[in-house]
Amino acid sequence: MSQTASRPGRRNTADGARTERPKGRFGLVGQEWRNQRNGILFISPWIIGFLVFSLGPMLASLYFSFTSYNVLKAPRWIGLQNYVNIFSNDPYLRDAVVNTLYLAALGVSAGTLLSLALAMLLNQRVKGIGIYRTLYYLPTMLPIVVSSFIFLLVLDPQFGVINNLLGVFGIPGPGWLRSPDWSKPALIVLGLWGVGNSVVIYLAGLQDVPRHLMEAAEVDGAGWWQRLRHVTLPMLSPVIFFNVVLAIIAAFQNFVSIFFLTDGTGGPARSTVTWGLQIYTNAFVNGRMGYASAMSWIMFVIVLLVTLGLFRLGSHVVYYEGGDGRRK
């Protein structure tokens, strides 16, 4: 006796004829719709939180960016005037842009090289390697305020550990955070203190490099530099790309450490004034919430364009296994 195979969304009648099952909302069969509904109910707390605490404030700040608003009075619509004032009348614009780009370019470059080098060292099979990995990751467990306070003591021009160590060798220590020429390098050094997260990600990527490729390169007589250049870095390029994108976004948003180390002034001599610090100063010190909202959206657009540019570049330089090895 032949049997009629059933399909999802269909049912068999007594005479063997097949009829369509009644569909629920959005064209889903009853059980599929219940599964979909239950899934939405489970993630509904996140959806509500996102709408209330993320999307809602973003849309509100977009509206405020076209108004004159100081929180105490109702916002007054002024159109694009805030954006015009930012690019024409803001005396801190040049310093904020230059300092932000300086910290982003050098900080991300130095952080990437250091974290990659540390990951390669921690990828060696030596006794006690787990202890070394833990020690390099521990600084990331400290809150940024605590790390900033530690570096405020370490980089003190008179009593700091670094300058005292340099004095032992007869080298005069720099002024660090009290010097306009050394304040930004001091912030970069503080950023390097927290590369542990990137190191862990790079370490995971290094351990995922196919061993047979390294062995084949060794058989062909490739030295460590050739293996690094032609095997390790191409296979690690997706991980490098991921870390670089996150680091650039974080560099543009850097605020807490600068605010703490400079008491919110961006000193000395405006050498640490950044875009993020200016947003805070205009919003909560000067009471120009509409102006600060406009600055926030300008930064959002800049970060978005930089990220899109990186993804476009990544499609040509990042290697992915499978297919032709390039991201489509």
Would the pLDDT of 131 be above 60? yes
Question: Of 294, 85, 113, 270, nearest to 188 (Cα)?
Answer: 113
The string of pLDDT tens digits covering residues 293-328 is 999 999 999 999 999 999 998 888 888 765 455 544
Q: Which residue has the tokens 């006690």?
A: 128
- Report the chain's mean pLDDT, rounded to a whole number: 87
Predicted confidence band of residue 14 (pLDDT cuts 50, 70, 90) = low
Q: Which residue has the tokens 């930012």?
A: 86
Domain with CATH 1.10.3720.10 in the chain: 83-317
Q: Count CB atoms within 10 A of the CB of residue 296.
A: 20
Would the pLDDT of 283 be above 60? yes
Would the pLDDT of 118 be above 80? yes
Would the pLDDT of 133 be above 50? yes
67-68 and 10-12: which strand pairing?
unpaired
User: In percent, how much of the chain has pLDDT > 70?
Assistant: 89
76-77 and 10-12: which strand pairing?
unpaired
The string of pLDDT tens digits covering residues 234-280 is 999 999 999 999 999 999 988 999 999 998 899 899 999 999 999 99
Global pTM reads 0.82
The string of pLDDT tens digits covering residues 50-90 is 999 999 999 999 999 999 999 889 999 999 999 999 999 99
The string of pLDDT tens digits covering residues 83-93 is 999 999 999 99
- Residue 237 CA, distance from chain mean position: 17
Would the pLDDT of 25 be above 90? no
Architecture (CATH level 2) of domain 83-317: Orthogonal Bundle (1.10)
Contact of 146 with 138, CB cutoff 8 Å: no
